[in-house]
Amino acid sequence: MDFISDDEFARLVSEDVKNKVSGRQRQILLQPDNWSRWQRTLLLLIDNLQIQADDIDMDKESDKFRFESMGEDGLVLLKESEFAYVSRKTKIERFQFHVNRRLDDVTKIIETGISDSVKNDPISISSDVNFYRKAITKHRELIQDYGLEETEIDRALWRTLNNEWTFGDVNEGNV
């Protein structure tokens, strides 16, 4: 993997939260070596968003005192500025919600060592998975085409295509 600067990585993480990354970029994030960095970057992003929201609140208070002292014209400006502040803060809070959701996903990946998003994201499914799926399907076809006797091991293998794990049921008595 090529080195990615902290700034580039932060942009990648931010774009990932917005679902604007390519499959290749997503694979970079899903590499186990990047999981902790991904988590730290999301935590920094949450802190940054909170600072932005706090700054908006302070600016809003500042404008309130300034515009109220200007009389009737100031009240019009105050209403306009309040609308702009509410709009900006709503956007930040909405993005912060999505960042927190992604942080939950990444934390789960770190804790389990498994990325559910790989299973659910067709772009991210590795070519190995498709290769083995095709191999198992072809194995079943060949057994049937050549009239070979199926064993319990064969049937257990085929059940994996349906996400069933029955190899534990295989024993000397049924092979």
95 lies in the same domain as 21: yes
Query: Is 136 part of any domain?
Result: yes
Identify the domain containing residue 81 by its residue range: 6-120
Query: Domain boundary residue among 101, 120, 139?
Result: 120
My answer on whether 164 and 138 are in the same domain is yes
Answer whether residue 162 is part of any domain. Answer: yes
Shared domain for 150 and 73, answered yes or no, is no
- Give residue-wise pLDDT tens across range 26-64: 989 999 999 999 999 999 999 999 999 999 999 999 888
Report yes or no: 13 and 38 within 8 Å, Cβ to Cβ.
yes
Residues 72 and 144 placed together within one structural domain of the fold: no
Q: Using CA atoms, how far apart are residues 106 and 38, in angstroms rounded to an integer?
A: 7
The H-or-E segment that residue 87 falls in is helix 72-112
Tell if the pTM clears 0.75, that is, is over it.
no
Query: How many structural domains does the chain have?
Result: 2
The set of residues, in sequence order, having a beta carbon less than 8 Å from that of 44 and lying 6+ positions away, is 10
Q: Is 49 exposed, middle or buried (0-12, 13-18, 19+ CB in 10 A)?
A: middle
What's residue 100's pLDDT?
Answer: 94
Is 144 contained in some domain? yes
- pLDDT score at 116: 58
Residue-level pLDDT at 126:
52
Same domain for 70 and 154, yes or no, is: no
* 113 and 29 inside one domain: yes
In a domain, 142, yes or no: yes
Check residue 127 and give its pLDDT: 55
Exposure string for 15-26, b = 16+ CB within 10 A, e = fewer: ebbeeebeeeeb
What whole-number distance in Å separates Cα of residue 114 and Cα of residue 106? 10
- Are 156 and 107 in the same domain? no
Amino acid symbol at 93: E
What DSSP state is assigned to residue 18? Answer: T
- Pick out the chain residues at pLDDT < 70: 1-2, 116-128
DSSP E strand boundaries for the chain = none
Task: Give yes or no: residues 113 and 134 share one domain.
Answer: no
Report if residue 29 sits inside a domain: yes
Q: What is the length of the chain? A: 175
Task: Give the per-residue pLDDT at 128.
Answer: 60
